[in-house]
Structures are given as C-alpha cells and as structure tokens.
Structure 1
C-alpha cells in the first residue's frame, strides 16, 4: 500500500571517517594524548597530514575488499554486565553497491522505498521511471540521480543502455507488473516486482519464463519474509518451541478511501482486498509453516450500494488446510477499521503479532505457561527498515548469483491459491490444491543472510 512521506537523502557521513591524527594513531589514542596536554601538538601535525592524506592518504593502508562491508570496528563502550550495542551498519562503498532503477513514483516509492536506500548496505538508487516528469525531476534531485537516468514509461526500454542499472524495481498497479517485467527482462536487467506478482497464473508463468530466457533473476517483494520479528516467529514455529502448531488466525483489513482509486478497478488491480491485503495472510501463513495447503474454502461479501465495490470484492474469509493438520482461518477486508494481526496457536503456547504487517511498529507477544504459570514475553523490535532488507537481499543475490528467497515461483503459487479462493467462493464449496504439497519451502530460494535478519 502506498503512503506519502518527505524523502530524505543518503547519509554520506556513514560511508567514511576522517580523523585529525598521525599515521598509525587511533582516535582513542589521539583523545588520550590530548587529555595529557598533547592536543596542540596533535593538531599541529594533523594539518599538514590532512593535505597529504587528500593526495595519497599519506601511507595509510587503503586496501579494501572490492565488495562487501568495510567492517569498521571500535572498542565497546559498555561494561561486560551491560547490554551490548549492535554492530555498525558497515555498508558497502557507494561504487560497489548494486544499482536499482525504481519504476513508479507513487506513495509507496516516495514514502518507503526511496528513503530505505539510506539504510541499505548493498544497493543504491541510480535511475527513475515515471509518467510525471516534474515529480520525477524533484525526486531525482532529492536522491542525487542524474537527469540522464530519468525515463518515461515510453522509453523505459532504454534502461538496457544504462550500465549503472542492474536491478529494476517495479512499483506499479498490479496489471502493469507483467508488461514491465517482460520489458525489463528483455532490456537485460534483473527484476524485483511488488506483490501481488500479477493478475493471473498465466501472467506469472510468462514473467518467470521471460526472466529465465534472459538469464535474469526475478524476486517478488514479500517484505514480511525478511522482517526480523516475523522471521523469529517462523523459527519458533519450525523449531516447535510450543509443540506442534494446531491453528492459525490471520487478519488484514482497512477502511479504504472513497476516491475511486486504481485499487477499485478490477482491470488494474485484478481483485479487491484479497490480492492487496489478504495476500499477506496467505503468504505469511505459508512462510511460517513452510507447507503448502491441500484445500481452500472461502466466502466473499461486498456491501450493496458502496461505489468502492462495484468491480472488486470488499470482504473475503478463507480457510486453508495443510498436510500437517494445521487449519488457518484468514480474513481480509476493505471496509472495516484497520487491523493487521495474527496468532499461531501451538500445543503449549501462542505466538501473537499485533500489528504484524505495517511498514513499522510491529509487535510480538509470546504467551505460554512454564511451570503451570502463564507468562507473556514481548521481544523487542530491532526496528529494521523492511524495504532496505528486501532490496539488500536482492542485491546480494545478484552479486553472488543466488536464487532470491522469494522468487517468481513464490508469487505464482500465491496466485494459484488466490484463484482457488475465488473459485471456492463462487461455487460455495472447497477446492483441492496440489502444487508443492509434501515439500518444505517448495517455492523459496536462498534464505537471507544473518546481517539482513
């Protein structure tokens, strides 16, 4: 979903340090010398050295890995008995980051994706594509993107001639994902595509085929699968920390504005609440369990006379049955108060996420009863920028030639299941499913690295 926000710029200060000191002298040593009355001497030697460093770094060892973190380290500030601070971000040098072209400058791009590059370690924005030249010029100026790297939808294919662009991130209405993925792959670029992947199984299959033919990677932007608290919930489920999972409840609903936005047009959106916000319930359930459902049953209801729902559905309730016996009840809607939560009920405890799906502010609660006394734990949220995490994963997959954790096949499987949900609601009976059943993480690729989690 798209939200407005002021854009911010990359923090160049985090990419390097400059200290007034002599070769081989650490910052800590310099400060200690200054405290013993040697500050004047330190400054006197630093001034000519600064000029020498500007020329050839005055004898410092300037070797660094061609890619990967530069790994700056300092002694800890905390006593051994105090909580430890996290590691420094240690991003790649700018010239070693994977270049992204962002297609579409709507709410999501301006509010979340472009600002996220400020917290990303392995990628950077190098090109923009938009149908609004004025808006694009302003965004380009904010993020230091060259005017020559700004494209319209008509000349989008010219990205093939821009060697700075390695990945195209498609952030367009659902119906345009298919076209711009095919054109992007033909231009010789890797593709990161927003969810839902497309409007039909056929389109998804064609997107996968186009990227395979071009020898390029295709990743679907399922940010929840890269977010730390949701990944921690997955580990609790997979490790059977609270015994076998028995039941799952998923809810993702919101009250949409009465503005006839593109999400209310079936030709553009492919559907209503199900492919937009209900997809989080479907995909997150599959992500947590690592299983594929064997059966789905569903009901759909839209308020009569509400102009928002002339073409698309308002509310969807669907039940997923899994080989292990887990039953997942999922609900999604476009006309009720905002609720984005889930609960995983195991034999000896419950994992709650509320909220579970927003861009920030997620909270986890673990309810169990060790020694017969109920306990509620609330793990802290690391506060990672979700779009930075997913884009960094894509960058690493491009750099290291790995299959993304959420490839096109993951998006295709969700589309298959959503079509079965619609069919079940239409026929008022359950629909059997077979794809991927019996395999763990059947449609996922290489998991994200620990630094991204």
Structure 2
C-alpha cells in the first residue's frame, strides 16, 4: 500500500467508498442519529486544497451530496488541473495555487476550503484560509501539536469562520449506533476499551515517513482513530496516558514512529488499551465492554463497509458514503443553522492534547503523563 488512505479505501472487502450505497434500513432507534436529508435549495460551495489520493475520494463522494458541492480546487501541481476540470466541472475562476490562495477572499462563489495537504501543512493552510474569510475543514490530524491546534481555533474565531475536522466516522451509522447504545446505558457501566488501527506502509520515500511533512508517524496518522474512538466509546476525556514505541525497521522509520501502543486512563476508572502501526495490515478494530453488554466494530475505521456486532446481535445499519455524509452534515450546520456536529476544531484539539502526552510518555520511557484540563 502506498498510503494510509489507499489502504483504508481498499481494506474493507475491497469496496471503495465511492461505490457504497445503503443496503439496509437503519433500526428505528437509530434513525434520529442519521443526519436528516438536508435542504436541497441551498448548497455549500467547496474548494479542495491538495489534490492527492484522499482528495480524489472526497471529490467522488461529493457527487452524492445533497447540500455540499465541489466548485473549486487549490493545487501546487498544474498538471492535475485539466483532469479535475474535466471530471468535476471546475471553472477557471475557482482554481488557485498555494501562492495566490489569499485571492480566494475575493471569490463569492466559494464558501469553504477543505485542507487535505500533508499533516504538517495543515496549520499553515488553515491560518491562510481563515485569513481569507472562508470556512475551513482540516483533515486529521488537525496539526503537529496542541499549541498549533489552539492557534488554528483562535484564527478561525477571530475571522468569524467555522472550523471543522474531517472526523467522518462521527457521521457513520454503525459508529453512531454504538455511541447511541452507550449513551442509552445499554452497555451498563463501561469497563474497558480496546482499539487498534494500522497498516503496512509501502513506498519508503512517501511523505508520511518524513517528519517535516508528516509531523509524526503511525500515532499522528492512524493512532488518532484509536484515540478518538476511545473517547466516543467512553464519553469521557482521558486524564492520564502511558505509551511505548517499538521499531523493527529503524532505517525506513528513522524519522517517524513505526508502532505505538498506548493506554488511556479515564475519570471513572476505565482504561483503554490502544495501538497503531505502520508495519502490518489487518489491524482495524474497536471493542467496548460494559458490565451489561459490549460492542465490536471490525472493520471499524476504514472507508467501509463498517461492520459491527453487540451483545444483542449484528448492528443493522446502512452502508453509506462516509465523505458524502460528512460533507452534507457540515453543510447542514453552516447553511441551515443546525447545531455544530462534534467535529469542530475543539474536538481536534482534544485529540492533540492526548497525542502530545503519548509522545511525552515515550520520551520518558513509558512514564504516566497526567493531562491537565
């Protein structure tokens, strides 16, 4: 696999996100958790910034959107422009590069920019988009560290624009059903969480293995899935972290972490065991256990289909296009005044606080790091 996103797209039974369609009606108790069909008379006009593999997946997914529409692109690779114009009907007036991005502020036909550039560029690019007065989505991880995330939130607040993170699973029906069951007390008291996410990285020259562009390795890239999952499985915020790193290929992974296991302690006494890796496949699982029931998603974090089972039986939820659901959900909030979904910059900051603590623990030989709220 050449990238995490290529892996995620292909991992779940080889079904690409762009081809997913609903295969079953959601159970009645979960219907309220699936985003309402947005109003079709208004559309959020979106430009994608960075035209790599995941941007292509988002663009294809947006063809299914009801309230979000792809209208623009920002790229540093001019050779990509003709194909994008042809595939998605992008007009010349909505095409920008990294040098003239500030000019987007004068374009009334673009409402939001979705930043899908390498991780360590998110901070710079979100600040630029906010300064241009446009709403912004940043892909995960939001930044290199919590300090940068705070700066991004502050810049967007100052500019009066909305700031979201690409937590697509917060819109995914199987995931939402697990959260609903936890909130309804169907698992009883949560006792333990066990999450893992990873894949075997391919090209040793890819940007994800260069710290200057990636910010970190497996923890930054896929560890946030296990971490964020632990937070929505418990409904709590961790108060301490311990972490360990293992590296079997110090040449390939000389700049970034290869495999990290970490433990999260929560106020109620729950402990979550989590892990992430860049060095083996078939590691995509979320498992939450309570004193009255349990749930497992496996696959849990890829582009679909997500599959799950609980103590009550299989989770019967529809397979959906994650990217379309995410974009329509965010558009609904911006255009129709709905409450912000739980994918704002603040959610990204909470993850980065923990990621910082994970790396601090590793530097201190696995010491317990207490998180100050």
State TM-score, norm by structure 2: 0.88
Q: Matched residues in 2 for 1:216 and 1:347: separation?
A: 43
2:255 is paired with a residue whose SS is coil
1:205 is paired with a residue whose SS is helix
CA contact (8 A) 1:253 1:332 kept: yes
1:400 to partner: Cα distance: 3.4
Task: Select 1:336's aligned residue among 253, 266, 280.
Answer: 280
Q: Matched residues in 2 for 1:405 and 1:229: separation?
A: 16
Task: Select 2:148's aligned residue among 178, 198, 203.
Answer: 203
1:291 is paired with a residue whose SS is coil
What is residue 262 of structure 1 aligned with on the other side?
207
CA contact (8 A) 1:236 1:242 kept: yes
2:335 corresponds to 1:399? yes
Matched positions, count:
346
CA contact (8 A) 2:229 2:286 kept: no
Q: Matched residues in 1 for 2:147 and 2:191: separation?
A: 34
What is residue 54 of structure 2 aligned with on the other side?
108
CA contact (8 A) 1:192 1:219 kept: yes
> Whose relative contact order is higher, 1 or 2, with alpha carbons under 8 Å and at least 6 apart?
2
Task: Select 1:182's aligned residue among 127, 144, 149.
Answer: 127
CA contact (8 A) 1:137 1:147 kept: no
Q: Matched residues in 2 for 1:276 and 1:150: separation?
A: 28
CA contact (8 A) 2:191 2:290 kept: yes
CA contact (8 A) 2:233 2:288 kept: no
1:367 to partner: Cα distance: 2.7
1:2 to partner: Cα distance: 2.9
Q: Matched residues in 2 for 1:339 and 1:90: separation?
A: 33
Task: Select 1:310's aligned residue among 245, 254, 257.
Answer: 254
Note the 1:419-438 alignment, pairs <5 A.
419-428=356-365, 429-435=367-373
Distance 1:90 1:281, change over 3 A: closer
Task: Select 2:232's aligned residue among 261, 283, 287.
Answer: 287
1:433 to partner: Cα distance: 1.3
Q: Matched residues in 1 for 2:17 and 2:128: separation?
A: 28
Cα deviation, 1:197-218, whole Å, max 9, x if unaligned, reads 0002221111111101101110
CA contact (8 A) 2:17 2:304 kept: no
State TM-score, norm by structure 1: 0.73
Cα deviation, 1:315-372, whole Å, max 9, x if unaligned, reads 101001111111100011110122111111111322010000010111001136xxxx
1:285 to partner: Cα distance: 1.1
CA contact (8 A) 2:242 2:264 kept: yes
Distance 1:225 1:7, change over 3 A: closer
CA contact (8 A) 2:42 2:335 kept: no
1:278 to partner: Cα distance: 0.7
Q: Matched residues in 2 for 1:279 and 1:91: separation?
A: 29
1:317 is paired with a residue whose SS is strand
What is residue 2 of structure 1 aligned with on the other side?
5
Cα deviation, 1:382-431, whole Å, max 9, x if unaligned, reads 11111111111221222134434211111111111111011112112101
Cα deviation, 1:100-152, whole Å, max 9, x if unaligned, reads 01101100011x20011122111101111111122122112111111221111
1:2 is paired with a residue whose SS is helix
Cα deviation, 1:223-246, whole Å, max 9, x if unaligned, reads 111111001001111222121110
What is residue 22 of structure 2 aligned with on the other side?
none
